[in-house]
Structure 1
Amino acid sequence: MPAAAFFDLDKTLWSCVGEKVFAYHQLAQGGINLKQFLKIISLQLRYDLHMIDGTETLKRRILSELFAGESVRPCLDVYDQLFQAKLSRAFFPDMLGQIDRHREAGDKIVIVSATIDFIALQVADYLKADECYATVLETRQGQFSGEVRGPIPFGRAKALIVQDYAHRNGIALDQCHAYGDHWEDRHMLKLVGNPVAINPDAKLMRHAKQNNWETRVLAPSKYAGFSYAKRFMPKRIGKSS
């Protein structure tokens, strides 16, 4: 019977938060203003501190403010340049090796992430993933509408996506692996026979130990804060890169 490996993206496959790095870059280039930048950072802080109530609503509102009316092609071009020059170096080597092992075993590689689609899809293409689920920004006539199409793959919604994928593809979840770093990833992790917590936050670490889940702590250890993100920024903001 076929099996799959389900991967969260930020702080699981790579050691950064893609939207945060993109925000730093856009701030440095004048693509967003300081007020917009701080809203993005506040959203990530709420997530990191497990202030989950209202997080999805807040994310939809911020994405609407940032992208409504923006032309799609220039935005994608900016991100593609950032990915090729910088972000493609942010993957955990151990996780790249893990993907190779799953592929050699014949497992489907599936990315399930709440990050915006053009970030996640670039990663999926780079890693040659079989499927990718992310927050889909709606477009109309070459512009972002400011709306999100479909669910945001976060918490229980991420688990539902995994269940649906398994059902449609005849996959037994007890034969599958899943990888995540955040407490909210537990909903996905508990579905599979082989859950793995990658650099788990404190709540997920406790939960993983209580349930005898595998945990892995991967280098670099500083993967979330400004000291790491500024490596990917133009020298106008971060002098060391």
Structure 2
Amino acid sequence: MIYAPTITLQGRYDVDDHRLFGPIDMSISAGQWTCLLGRSGVGKSTILRLILGLETAGDFIGEIVADDGQPIAKRASYMAQSDLLLPWLNLHENVVIGSRLRGAEPDFDQANALIDRVGLSDHIKKKPGALSGGMRQRAALARTLMENRPIVLLDEPFSALDAGTRADMQDLAAELLAGRTVLLVTHDPAEACRLGHQITLLSEDGANAWDLPNTMPIRQPDDPEMLRSQASLLAHLRVGA
């Protein structure tokens, strides 16, 4: 696997002369999961787009760099809030679309295995319109995992799933993305405390670290230390809302 770097983001972001966030000094550690939380509209999804070099509505003044000095975007896979499945392709075709767009031969065995692991083997020939929201999100997750990139940016990837399926997909993502540099945007304190090696709280004024249990992720849902951290984080977010 290509080296998974540490990514640092320093600067501020303005929209129409209004400060959305910053100045911030944020580090996304190499080979670990960084979970990014904050109120709606503070710019969490914008940070993902800035890392990828995608167009945004405002102006970023600062720098985003990897510790090896190499470009970031071409080494990253991205799962947006919207599943972005192509409606004219079936599930199987959507999962391998990355290889197709690059003019490469897809690894169909890997694709089939991923589709099975996200629980969609019985729906492999269905088009997105015939799938539920949760199925579409799992298909998008399989497509993201199919890319096998060292940098992975996830924007609320489990939000449409029921509690049991969400836990299963968290387990799967943690397993298959081990050793990658992952930035996960989430509104769920339990998810962040379960998956995160580190948690960053984004606000208009900055990006601050949140203390996590000493245990390593992925943490069990009934882990007492995790539950205490989750409750404390939820209380903090409610006060800051």
User: If the length of structure 2 is used for normalisation, what is the TM-score?
Assistant: 0.29
Higher helix share: 1
User: If the length of structure 1 is used for normalisation, what is the TM-score?
Assistant: 0.29
Higher strand share: 2
